[in-house]
Amino acid sequence: MNLKRSAAMFGVLAAGAMALTACGSDDNSASGTSVDTSASNAACEGKDTLSAAGSSAQKNAMDAFTSTYIAVCKDKGKTVNVAYNPSGSGDGRTQFIAKQIDFAGSDSAIKAEQAAAAKERCAGNDAWNLPLVFGPVALAYNLDGVDNLTLNGEVIAKIFNGGIKKWNDPAIAALNSGATLPDQDITVIVRSDSSGTTDNFQQYLTTASKGAWTQGAGSDFVGGIGEGAKGSAGVAQAVAGAPGSITYVEKSFADQNKLKAAQIDSGAGAVALTEDSAAKAISGAAFKTEGVGDLTLDLKSIYGTTEAGAYPLVLATYEIVCSKGYDADTSAAVKSFLTSAANEGQAELSAQGYVPLPATVKDKLNASISAIG
């Protein structure tokens, strides 16, 4: 998944999942920022360079975070850098477990056997999932004459598992009173590669479709239909060139390809995809555990929202860190960088197509970052 890119930025992202740039680590030491860093609480302590890898969806966000962090620490007389490789969520988790990087970016929380292996990597301490980057996912479509398409969870599920095949199907027409829907086949475009965006989209369908989606979730598309394209850029470009098509893709890619995005009606009226509507859904997020520490989200609290004005199809990306078990220099640097990223680092995310952290999430995140040992 990936989020907004400045034209050039997202061209880089294009190749991978949302904000992906090539697959090598990035040296951001020359980056600049326009963010006011004077009030930062980042201590700029610990080792000078952190290493991380994983989700391509957060690549542009990591670039922005790193630029800001460099500026923060420069003001405090220290030169720092964060080398982030957008190699994919699975690879990030694997490298983290193997102690090849300091923290991982992942579109899914680390769990089960991987969580047990991460605990060993963290000297017997739990690894924490800290949600730092949120990005809305668009239902991007190409349909002449239909500029304000509305869908709901049940209809979306039936489109993506083949239960609805025509754009003028009565179920779509019922949600789009007054629109002229063509008697045209729906061409479904899906990710051909394993993707956190696919996993989250299918989790959304499982939650919001009222039983219409029974195929399950996972990083590979399991709907049984559709034409595959690689990466977020690939599916967006495919829809742009195929009248009658639809896909799920990060909003930034939809914007870059000038694609229309469907509104979603979760029961309280149609909601367009905007930063505010996505933030409203995120603000209502619940966590699987209470208190300070691991902040794995209960995604059903987002995907199943029926709150008026809330857009539910949002991708969360975690930073996976050791709660304890780092050496002192690494622990200090991880805490310092994440403190900056969770606060002044959020200032440039809107321009990248991400949704800055709502206060309800930011407060919990800052408490957990402070508790890293």
Contacts of 206 (CB under 8 A, 6+ apart): 213, 216, 217
Asked, for residue 302, whether it belongs to a domain, the answer is no
**Does residue 76 sit in the same domain as residue 166?**
no
Q: Block means of pLDDT (10 residues each) for the chain, length 373 residues?
A: 36 35 37 74 97 90 96 96 92 96 94 96 98 95 96 98 98 97 98 88 97 94 96 93 96 91 97 95 92 94 95 95 98 98 95 89 96 96
Backbone angles phi, psi at 154, to 5 degrees: -65, -45
d(CA 354, CA 57): 10
Is the domain of 83 the same as that of 29?
yes
278, 304, 331: which is the final residue of a domain?
278
Asked if 237 and 322 sit in the same domain, the reply is no
Residues 6+ apart with CB under 8 A from 138: 248, 249, 250, 251, 253, 254, 259, 261, 262, 273, 313
Record the pTM. 0.81
pLDDT for residue 35: 80
Domain boundary among 278, 297, 330: 278
Are 147 and 97 contained in the same domain? no
Using one digit for the tens of pLDDT, what is the confidence trace for 103-117?
Answer: 999 988 999 999 999
In a domain, 273, yes or no: yes
Same domain, 366 and 265: no
Shared domain for 25 and 127, answered yes or no, is yes
C-alpha span between 316 and 124 (Å, rounded): 27
Q: Among residues 261, 278, 295, which one ends one of the domains?
A: 278
Q: Are 142 and 266 contained in the same domain?
A: yes
What CATH number is given to the structural domain containing 55?
3.40.190.10
The reply to whether 206 and 104 lie within a common domain is no
- Please count the residues of the chain: 373
Shared domain for 128 and 145, answered yes or no, is no
Q: Which domain holds residue 245?
A: 137-278
Residues 202-234 have pLDDT tens digits of: 999 999 999 999 999 988 999 999 999 998 889
Closest CA to 18 of 227, 207, 188, 198: 198
| 143 and 130 both lie in a single domain | no
Same domain? 131 vs 179: no
Structural domains in the chain (count): 2
147 and 119 housed in the same domain: no
**Residue 241 DSSP symbol:** T
